[in-house]
Structure 1
Amino acid sequence: MSQAIEITDEDIKYAEDILLPQGKAFDDERRNFIRNLSTIDLQAVPGSGKTTALLAKLLILETKLPLSNGSGVLVLSHTNAAVDEIKKRIHQYCPKLFRYPNFIGTIQSFVNEFLAIPYYLFRLKKKPLRIDNEIYAEQIEFSLSYNTKIALSKRGINYIDILSNSFINNEGIFKHFWSNGEVNIPKIGSHTKTYKELATIKINLLKTGILSFYDCYALAQKYLSNYPIIHKIINKRFQYVFIDEMQDMDTHQYELIEKIFTENNDTNTIIQRIGDKNQSIYNSIKAESIWQDRDNVLHLSNSQRLSRPIANIVKNFALYPEHCTDIQGMNECQLKPHILLFTDSSIKNVIPHFSQLVQQYKGSGELNFRQDKPLEIKVISWNTDWKDNETSRSNPTKVRLEDYHQAFKKNDQKPKEDYKCLKSYILFL
């Protein structure tokens, strides 16, 4: 077992000097979390600086590396952007933390590197060619016969979702990629030509080495089930596990992490889960039903992002109000929250009116912003563009960002890694 690590006031001062503006210091709530190196959950309100507090802990752990038993530190977040932010802020101070035996990355990259790719290599004697949902979907479109596409589309069957989110067991039956339940393909019997065509495409893509992200979780599950020693190896590899933005985990990700580091933890690995259930964005069901709190839960209640007037309003609309009843808005801005009421016919006036309000309060000096940091004003939408689905489009209760601003195109805002043809690459450049 590794020697216990003690985090001192001098250690915290070192992290403060790197991460915080001159003259600023961590408050007692954050200092308690930074010092804590036991298995806990951290529930933090919006803008509380929970990631900064985690970075402080990582900066300090860097000074204690290597650990006495040769194990490492595992840091997981949900998106590449979040991982890039971690690297940007502390990489220059933490050369050891970004090398073996440590690992900092997304949950997907962890599953790929430590479970899915090793198992695929073991079974097929080669590495996967590509792991990418867009490439996977393109290959399905290319492989599926025209008549079958038309027939499935007429029946409202999303064959790409079916193939991406399922796996084939030894009997050739579609299974959900994580659970053992059979996938319900509506109106398609397993004896039909269509079903067999879908199954053939799925198996061929697997053999070719073109995998969806969900395929990797299926491979990971099979690896862990068939070779239980993998749990012990991974636990011995990582003494400390930190999961940022825990609320954005989906069920299969949560179950996999728990299976490795909690259910089969016989090496005293420390796991800390950090997030805010009220800020769940990515998972498809409520965070409460996925993320079950540990016995020991710490809280961060001061929000550097929210002003007092906004904090006093939003805590009454929280999905889980018990996690933000004590929220304190620390931002000095005293502007009151604005609610814009509009009709279907005036929806395109919402963003221009919002822009006018920003200019008005910026001009009057009531909208505070740091002189050393550009003022970023953004429009955020749960859904951006419409899919090719007339049923959804005709639903009067649904709107998209392009309804507010017709010129918005998702691909214009976020460049893709892969395009279908050379012309598309050239146009992008």
Structure 2
Amino acid sequence: MTGHPAIPEVTDDDIAWISDIMGLDDLDVDRKAFLKRSETFDVSACPGSGKTTLVVAKLAILARKWQHATSGICVLSHTNVAREEIQNRLGHTPVGHRLLHYPHFIDTIHTFANRFLALPYLRSNGYPSPLIDDDVAKAFRWNVLQVQERWKFENWLKNKHTSIDEITFCDSDLSVALTSRDFPTAAHTATYQRAQKILLESAAAGHFRYEEMFVWAECLVQEYPEVAASLSRRFPLVLIDEMQDTSQRQAALLASIFDRANGPSVVQRVGDPNQEIFKSGQEQNTADPFPDVGEGRTMSIANSRRFGPAIATLANPLAVISLDGDGLQGSGPQRAAEFSGHSSNLIIVFPDNNTDGVLEAFGTHILEKFEDDTLAIGDCFAVGGVHRPAQEAIGPGHGKFPRSVEHYWAEYSPEMSKPDQHPKTLVGYVHHAQNMIRASEDTAEGIAHFATGLKRLTRQIGQPASALERTRKHRAIRGVLAPAPESLESYDAFVRTFLITMTPMTEELWLGYVPQFRELAGNLCQGDANHNAGDSFLAWEEPQANAVELEGPQEHSENVVKVTSGDREVCIRLGSIHQVKGQTHFATLLLSTFQNQHSSEKIVHWLTVGKSSGTGEGIQNVTRLKQSYVALTRPTHLVAVALRNSAIAKDRTKAMAMLHAQGWEIRDLCP
């Protein structure tokens, strides 16, 4: 396309400038090549390679030299890590401010699809203010049916191993599906038609799940092909981060807009296919596979600055896709680099029916190997691939034991592993907002969170004023309430009392505010409002049920085990592998859990280097290997793996010798 905006060239001087601004260490050849490349290409970046920092550095250089007033850089991912990194590292600079504003767009793939495609399509088809929220959509769909009809329908679904919460659609005709598979009966049946009724009424009310918005995004692109050309000109450079977690549907949509083969936009995709743990085999991206197989269109960064050679050597065999050259390399840790730790990485062998000593062995080992000053560098975690309890009773002696993280510590609560971002009640938003403010010492984010909750209440009693669709909900609410000074003062007074002065919220106080919030929500509606609606959302809820103290990253006492030795102690935080992806730990213990098979028994041959890569493995074991690879590449100093005795029982002596030969230290808990 002639006249398409050009991408600025990145020079050595630019790299020196951003290195000084961001305090980057000497960049090697591969990292400089990533910063300089201006054509369409893919980069596979290993764990701890500083991928997000490199992305931000590249964006800063380009934004500094950007000459186009109405065309910008589009950065897409599954989280807002890149945006947060820009705010943290460059927020005080003019170039950081420039990046976070028009014409550039840095946000999630979901937000991109909604803002530029799905929401315009829905609004032009009679949905002026659709609400995208999984919890709200599921709650609405649950209440579509009458009690008796709903009870029968839910029992039928239960017998099919699913529920109303799983009902969704994948096409614009609202044909019924489940979130993980096809609906279990044909379209002509009364059961199917009952399910479709739920979807039709939900759509008519404007309630959609997050993933359903891709259906409407696809509709706009299909019905108006010129949209793709417009977006390509709007964004001459598209950078997609965490590409390995992009689903088939997401990849196909992006490929239909930004054609990497023939389109005018430059598309640069960054990720690590070995860390693809958020998709099932049915969700694999075959529409536009990553990384590209085209010659010269792929580069890799295989050197990690998170951990040293010892951890790299132990994790490398579990990489499903072998890394180029010598495989995964380690040049870290960046702090306390003098510690090699080759002989300190740990295998804990425990009896099949007894996990009691596993966490204690891990903690004791840490205390033996490190001084307190070194331990202060980071957190210690124990993680498993399965962390939610099963419906069936599983205990010692059961064939699936240990199935999940709770079998290593009975007090483990999966709900406490991270703060609830979508409280079920308005007072839950208040509790969570107060915790956010305590953690960050910044009221803005907490007030914005509470304002989002108030909009959800407004949605439940009527049609929110169109101004509430703005991103800045607090400002939008104050704007809508401005013509009603008493209501505005009431809202401001509540914010001052509970989110600035931080007065603790009690049940008695809350019940006194409920009528006031009904009135406020009514004033935020356009047209008539049912002030008696929203009872469940306005109910009282104890703080512990909805929000947890945010004292540090995942620092929740409910999921912390303390191991002591003499007068010293170490805290071990428990969680799932999925929750810690992207994190850096001081030490990480991979727990054996059960999903079709015991994970330790399926990966032990990669730990002894009897096998490497995922070639020839089925999808279930490929998934295990990817999860194990993610866990083993979190720590800077120490990695540990808990193995069921059955994993090595066939030839214990040989297995122990092979593990020792790879540099593992072994603690055998078996009698």
TM-score band w.r.t. shorter chain: 0.7 to 0.9
**Equivalent position of 2:520 in the other structure:** none
TM-score normalised over the length of structure 1 = 0.86
- Out of 21, 43, 59, the residue aligned to residue 18 of structure 1 is 21
- For residues 157 and 291 of structure 2, the distance between their equivalents in structure 1, rounded to whole angstroms, comes to 39
**Equivalent position of 2:328 in the other structure:** 327
- Out of 380, 385, 392, the residue aligned to residue 383 of structure 2 is 380
Contact 1:168 1:199 in 2 (8 A): no
- Out of 199, 203, 208, the residue aligned to residue 202 of structure 1 is 199
**Equivalent position of 1:36 in the other structure:** 37
* 1:160 aligned onto 2:165: yes
Deviation at 1:31, TM superposition (A): 0.8
Contact 2:172 2:219 in 1 (8 A): no
- For residues 9 and 380 of structure 1, the distance between their equivalents in structure 2, rounded to whole angstroms, comes to 42
Q: Alignment partner of 1:274: what SS?
A: strand
TM-align CA RMSD: 2.9
Deviation at 1:101, TM superposition (A): 1.6
**Equivalent position of 1:238 in the other structure:** 235
Contact 1:277 1:287 in 2 (8 A): no
Moved more, 33-42 or 45-54: 45-54
**Equivalent position of 1:339 in the other structure:** 347
**Equivalent position of 2:407 in the other structure:** 403
- For residues 14 and 134 of structure 1, the distance between their equivalents in structure 2, rounded to whole angstroms, comes to 46
Closer, same or farther: CA 189–132 of 1 in aligned 2, 3 Å: same
Q: Alignment partner of 1:272: what SS?
A: strand
**Equivalent position of 1:51 in the other structure:** 52
**Equivalent position of 2:12 in the other structure:** 9
- For residues 134 and 264 of structure 1, the distance between their equivalents in structure 2, rounded to whole angstroms, comes to 39
- Out of 353, 356, 370, the residue aligned to residue 361 of structure 2 is 353
Deviation at 1:232, TM superposition (A): 0.9
Which letter maps to 1:340? I
* 1:78 aligned onto 2:53: no
Closer, same or farther: CA 155–281 of 1 in aligned 2, 3 Å: closer
**Equivalent position of 2:112 in the other structure:** 110
Deviation at 1:191, TM superposition (A): 2.8
* 1:291 aligned onto 2:290: yes
Contact 1:177 1:218 in 2 (8 A): no
Which letter maps to 1:362? F
Contact 2:243 2:269 in 1 (8 A): yes
- Out of 218, 221, 244, the residue aligned to residue 218 of structure 2 is 221
Moved more, 137-146 or 8-17: 137-146
Q: Alignment partner of 1:43: what SS?
A: strand
- Out of 189, 193, 196, the residue aligned to residue 192 of structure 1 is 189
- For residues 196 and 115 of structure 2, the distance between their equivalents in structure 1, rounded to whole angstroms, comes to 26
Contact 2:236 2:265 in 1 (8 A): yes
Counterparts in 2 of 1:364-375, with a 5 A limit? 374-375=377-378
- For residues 385 and 323 of structure 1, the distance between their equivalents in structure 2, rounded to whole angstroms, comes to 36
Closer, same or farther: CA 263–298 of 1 in aligned 2, 3 Å: closer
Contact 1:232 1:265 in 2 (8 A): no
In structure 1, list runs of 5 or more residues that go unmatched. none
Q: Alignment partner of 1:26: what SS?
A: coil
TM-score normalised over the length of structure 2 = 0.57
**Equivalent position of 1:149 in the other structure:** 154
Aligned residues: 410
Which letter maps to 1:272? Q
In structure 2, list runs of 5 or more residues that go unmatched. 426-536, 548-671
**Equivalent position of 1:272 in the other structure:** 268
- For residues 136 and 120 of structure 2, the distance between their equivalents in structure 1, rounded to whole angstroms, comes to 21
Q: Alignment partner of 1:339: what SS?
A: strand
Deviation at 1:298, TM superposition (A): 1.4
- For residues 87 and 364 of structure 1, the distance between their equivalents in structure 2, rounded to whole angstroms, comes to 32
- For residues 124 and 392 of structure 2, the distance between their equivalents in structure 1, rounded to whole angstroms, comes to 41
Deviation at 1:167, TM superposition (A): 3.6
- For residues 322 and 65 of structure 2, the distance between their equivalents in structure 1, rounded to whole angstroms, comes to 38
Closer, same or farther: CA 4–160 of 1 in aligned 2, 3 Å: closer
Contact 2:258 2:267 in 1 (8 A): yes
Contact 1:76 1:104 in 2 (8 A): yes
Contact 1:43 1:274 in 2 (8 A): yes
